[in-house]
Amino acid sequence: MERGQSSRNRRNGTRIKLLIPNPILLNMSKKILVTGGAGFIGSHLIDRLIEKNEIICLDNFDPYYDPEIKRKNIEPHLERDNFKLVESDVRDRESLEGVFKEGVDKVVHLAAKVGVRPSIKYPFVYIDVNIKGTLNLLELCKTYGVENFVFASSSSVYGLNNTPFREDDKVDTQVSPYGTSKRACELYCRTYSLLYEIPTVCLRFFTVYGPRQRPDMAIHKFTRLIDQGKPIEMYGDGTSKRDYTYVTDIVDGVISALNKKFDFEIFNLGESRTVELRYLISLIEKNLGKKARIDQKPAQPGDVPVTYADISKARRMLGYEPKVRIEEGIRRFVEWYLESSSGIS
């Protein structure tokens, strides 16, 4: 339910009608904290938000991949008056409190320990970073009264569910600690929204790709290895399917969530189309003008055969409409890769 339509009475839990209209919140400058802001999605989001808002980018520059890549992502903003970089960790409660004390209107929480397969090997760090880090932020949102909190969840919460995945599906079949940690964070978000009236949105991202994508992700890794003439590891027989979503479409969805106030909602953000792995590889081959050398491997624990988003709720309530189909998205990605590899971008 949108704020501006109703709110929760603290004493008896009933809802009361508000007489004020729902504001379009980003028409005026806001101070927005973006955790993980130097990363792939975070830096694209900041590129869009910074034109009208004051941005606090919090990032710990985790060495999961080269931190210099993330520093380059935000380099264009470092000298701007409305941009502040805080090099810290969401697990550092004292440092976070220092940020909130200076004023935060809205929070987009993208920072996380990522990776399905690594989470099987190192599950405890996913509890520490993803769950405890999110809880730190929710506690501070409660204390400092932020306008709304947007949490980056994942299609991994659906696990072995039947497709297409819907937000009202029962989600108790996660197949990786990563997916389980994201689901636990969603539950904490719901609880804090109910207890403390923190307007909250959880966005379930579906396989995001595009310029600046992490180098360990399949599209980036495949492109690099095919370009270099090296074999790519294909897990399974190539028939697995993913709902690949271009980063600008994801950013559109995040900004729409920031533009509205909901008591609590969950939305899928995907392209709502499944793409077979072999077809994905063929698109990269076509755009590179090179043939892949495929090293076929057994399917990996933690992988699911299909992800597929039902986005009807996001269309209806967020006005979300993905614009970049996989064929165009891969063309753009390969173009960026070739330019950045040549030192042009």
pLDDT in tens, 12-57: 333 333 333 343 344 468 999 999 999 999 999 999 999 999 999 9
> Considering only the top CATH level, what class is 6-206+247-272+309-325?
alpha beta
Domain ranges of the chain: 6-206+247-272+309-325
| Contacts of 217 by beta carbon, 8 Å cutoff, 6+ apart | 209
CA dihedral 161, 187, 24, 155 (to 10 degrees): -30
**Rounded average pLDDT over 319-325:** 98
Residue 235's CB: how many other CB atoms inside 10 A?
A: 16
* Residues carrying an active site annotation: 178
pTM: 0.90
Whole-number pLDDT of residue 299: 86
What does 234-253 look like in DSSP terms, one character per residue? EESSS--EE--EEHHHHHHH
Report the chain's mean pLDDT, rounded to a whole number. 92
Q: Decide if 238 contacts 276 (C-beta within 8 A).
A: yes
The string of pLDDT tens digits covering residues 185-205 is 999 999 999 999 999 999 999
CA angle 216, 154, 178 (to 5 degrees): 65
